[in-house]
Amino acid sequence: MRIAALAFALLFIGTLAHADMIPIDSYPVNRCIKVTNIDSHPDIYLIGEMVPVGNQTPQLYIIESNKCLSKGYKFNSFNIYYADKMEIDSLGGLDKLDVSRKIHEPTAQSENSRRQDFFVAADPRLHFITSQIEPYGGYASYFDPKTDENFEYRIENTTGSYSLEMNEKIDTKSPFENIWCWLIGILGGKC
């Protein structure tokens, strides 16, 4: 009986140990997502929400212009909201917002989420924009010589509601790209 329990425990722990590993034929890629024109909208705060895995309280932060977004741990969910700047300032900051209660948001769907249902903060002062932006860099195949992904978004105001539109995507390639492409070509691949 002890051997069966030990075997089960080792199998379970071994599965968990691979949770943060990238595939063997891949390497990590840095990703930076910036919103470039926040200063053009002085009446609102653009707010990022990091929703931890499990039952922990989400964390809010004010997104600054031209700074990389963060969602913390790679398995966290990430939402973006906007809120009236004067209203948040009169409250005394983001700490006073209730992000523990959630409401169903059928239009929200995380890029890396397999869930059918998606929930966003219920506080009426937060206005949901998107959950489709993924700040975590992840990994790329060895056949792709990029080292960094940089995305620039702009805030757009359409009929009193705000949205984010991608302005530019820039991939930074490895300085060894030409050698890399030559080696891939020898192996029969395309670069």
- For 30-57, give the DSSP string: EEEEEE--GGG-TTEEEEEEEE-SSSPP
Per the domain annotation, does 1 fall within a domain? no
Which phi and psi (to 5°) does residue 49 adopt? -120, 120
Question: Does 188 score more than 90 pLDDT?
Answer: no
Domain region containing 47: 34-141+152-170
pLDDT at 110: 47
- Distance CA(44)–CA(100), nearest Å, equals 22
Please state which of the ranges 10-19, 24-33, 133-142 shows the lowest mean pLDDT: 10-19
Mean of pLDDT values over 19-25: 74
Residue 78: pLDDT above 50?
yes
DSSP E strands in 29-181: the ranges are 30-35, 44-51, 59-62, 77-84, 102-104, 119-121, 127-130, 139-141, 146-158, 161-173
pLDDT of residue 140: 80
Greater model confidence, 1 or 12: 1
Q: Is residue 126 part of a domain?
A: yes
Confidence of residue 61 (pLDDT cuts 50, 70, 90): very high
> What is the average pLDDT score of the chain?
79
Kindly state whether residue 99 falls inside one of the protein's structural domains: yes
pLDDT of res. 180: 61
Cα–Cα distance between 16 and 81 in angstroms, integer? 33
Looking at per-residue pLDDT, the higher value among 22 and 50 belongs to: 50
Residue 64 located in a structural domain: yes
Total domains in the fold of the chain: 1
User: Residue for token digits 């963060």?
Assistant: 70
Residue 54 lies in a domain: yes
126 exposure class (CB count in 10 Å sphere: 0-12, 13-18, 19+): buried
8 Å CB contact between 41 and 160? no
User: 65 pLDDT exceeds 60?
Assistant: yes
pLDDT over 70, % of the chain: 72
Judge whether 58 lies within some domain.
yes
Tell me the mean pLDDT in the region 40-56.
90
Instruction: Tell me how far apart the alpha carbons of residues 69 and 42 are, in angstroms, rounded to a whole number.
Output: 19
Q: Is 10 within a domain?
A: no
Chain-centroid distance of CA 54 in Å reads 17
Residue 123: inside a domain: yes
Largest CA distance in the chain: 67
Quick check: 179 pLDDT over 70? Answer: no
